Structure 1
């Protein structure tokens, strides 16, 4: 299983220096990919909590630097690593502009972009972008349709409720096909073969970006079973599943003492986090994204990178 690293976008990051330093350090350390996330704003009194039952938005989300700008900086600073979004919230973007931006970064990087997409969940962000929570699934489907159209041959013609393109060149094109992965939920999502989100992954995605929530063998078995269901559904739609990837997201929160038996995955000491990395591998993950952006006790990006390098070294040695 390969490891990827989420780039620093959080509050306190020196964007002029830290993004490039993190990208170069991660590539030199042997990380296979670099990833960005999207948070549009930080509501003081949010409509929805950050997580159920009533978890407040983390202070580190007060600044979440623009993901495409950060990914562009990483593209210029690196040579080999894949460059992914985990995830972009489709309803916050105009589809044609987003397709063009991703294709441009793909050209700058020499063909290393992975487009991770989702519907999103924050009503505060939807309202700021002039859209609505009720339309989020439809807007994601439309965005995927636009990607397929404008990344294809010119002239492009496309028509939907919001987007009309009539025999136009839309350039630049990606270097090659940009993999489109879909995020959302963890193993629970994959249990429901009737949900629209699961069908969308099986029908349209090149991979899945789930969260690992349960540590240990139970978590590995749960996630593996969900991934098997998704691929079985994809095969039922006549798709070749051999190239589909499961890239697990690990949102790390370190504790001073070992977390108890009821802990969530990637919450605990470094040893416990390493155990969770092995759990993701046991679940059949092709790659794991190590996300240290929510770790409040890091006083600097350099400190974060020292931990990221240690994680990579320990994973390589195990």
Structure 2
């Protein structure tokens, strides 16, 4: 299992310097991937909690710098790491513009981009982008269709609910087809979409220990079984697990959530992801309110990479 690191986008980050420093440091430390996430805004009185049943939105997410701009900055100062989004909220974007932006960054990086997408969940964000929760699945499906068309040969002709392209060149093209991964997977429709359309799955690990590994293995086995049924080569698909880290001063109790606890407990969760069969684990330190600087965050990231006994 490889390790990836989410780049700093949170409140308090010096974007001009910290993104470049983080990208270079992570690549030098042996991280295999650099990832960004998307939060469009921070509602003062959100319509939904950050996570069920009543987890509040973290203060650090008052700023989440634009994920594609951050990824482009990382692209020009690195050479080998993969550059992924985990995740972009498809309904917040016009599909043709998103296809063009991803293809441009893929060219800048020499073909290292991975497009991680989801339907999103925040009503506050969806309504700010002029859409609704009811239509988000259809928008994601159209986005995937537009990717196929726009990244294919010119001239492009496409007709969808939001996108109409008539016999036009759409450039630049990616270096090669950009792998598309999907988050979610909590219901049958989401699993079918991943199995039919995606190159991989981006699940969260929330339960520590053997139970958490079993949950991921079961979901991943189901998705690959469906993919095989659709005539796809499931062995070419990847599972990239997301670990949202929250450190505690003392060991968290037996009812803890995965990636909440001391550094030793976080390292146990790293091994749980490996036992579940993850191809890569994204270490996300963006939600840590107590990090006083990006350098302190990177020191922790380097320590995790050094102590984690993974590939």
**TM-score bracket, shorter-length normalisation:** over 0.9
- 8 Å contact kept, 2:87–2:183: yes
Confirm or deny that 1:255 pairs with 2:252: no
- Root-mean-square deviation (Å): 1.0
By how many angstroms is 1:133 displaced? Answer: 1.2
Deviations 1:184-228 (A, max 9, x none): 16xxx2xx5xx2111100100000000001111111112111101
Partner residue, 1:223: 216
By how many angstroms is 1:263 displaced? Answer: 0.3
Match runs of 1:194-205 below 5 Å: 195-205=188-198
Confirm or deny that 1:213 pairs with 2:194: no
Rounded Cα–Cα distance in structure 1 between residues aligned with 2:98 and 2:136:
16
Rounded Cα–Cα distance in structure 2 between residues aligned with 1:316 and 1:161:
48
* Structure 2: runs of 5+ lacking an equivalent: none
Deviations 1:27-80 (A, max 9, x none): 000000000000000000111111111222110010000000000000011010
Deviations 1:217-251 (A, max 9, x none): 11111211110111001001111111100000000
Partner residue, 2:64: 64
What SS does structure 2 have at the residue aligned with 1:17? helix
Rounded Cα–Cα distance in structure 2 between residues aligned with 1:24 and 1:270:
23
- 8 Å contact kept, 2:34–2:84: yes
Rounded Cα–Cα distance in structure 2 between residues aligned with 1:279 and 1:54:
26
By how many angstroms is 1:142 displaced? Answer: 0.3
Deviations 1:90-134 (A, max 9, x none): 000000000000000000000000000000001110111111111
What SS does structure 1 have at the residue aligned with 2:103? helix
Rounded Cα–Cα distance in structure 2 between residues aligned with 1:215 and 1:52:
18
* Structure 1: runs of 5+ lacking an equivalent: none
Partner residue, 1:287: 280
| TM-score for both structures, normalised by structure 1 | 0.96
What SS does structure 2 have at the residue aligned with 1:20? helix
What SS does structure 1 have at the residue aligned with 2:107? helix
What SS does structure 2 have at the residue aligned with 1:77? coil
Partner residue, 1:133: 133
What SS does structure 2 have at the residue aligned with 1:97? helix
By how many angstroms is 1:317 displaced? Answer: 7.3
Match runs of 1:140-289 below 5 Å: 140-184=140-184, 189=186, 192=187, 195-289=188-282
What SS does structure 2 have at the residue aligned with 1:147? helix
Confirm or deny that 1:92 pairs with 2:92: yes
By how many angstroms is 1:21 displaced? Answer: 0.1
Rounded Cα–Cα distance in structure 2 between residues aligned with 1:82 and 1:203:
23
- Relative to structure 2, which stretch is displaced further, 144-153 or 127-136? 127-136
Rounded Cα–Cα distance in structure 2 between residues aligned with 1:162 and 1:70:
27
Partner residue, 1:33: 33
What SS does structure 2 have at the residue aligned with 1:249? strand
Detail structure 1 runs of 4+ shifted over 6 Å in the superposition: none
**Cα distance change, pair 295–87 in 1 and its aligned pair in 2 (3 A):** same
Confirm or deny that 1:53 pairs with 2:53: yes
How many pairs were matched up? Answer: 311
- 8 Å contact kept, 2:2–2:310: no
Deviations 1:5-40 (A, max 9, x none): 000000000000000000000000000000000000
Rounded Cα–Cα distance in structure 2 between residues aligned with 1:200 and 1:80:
30
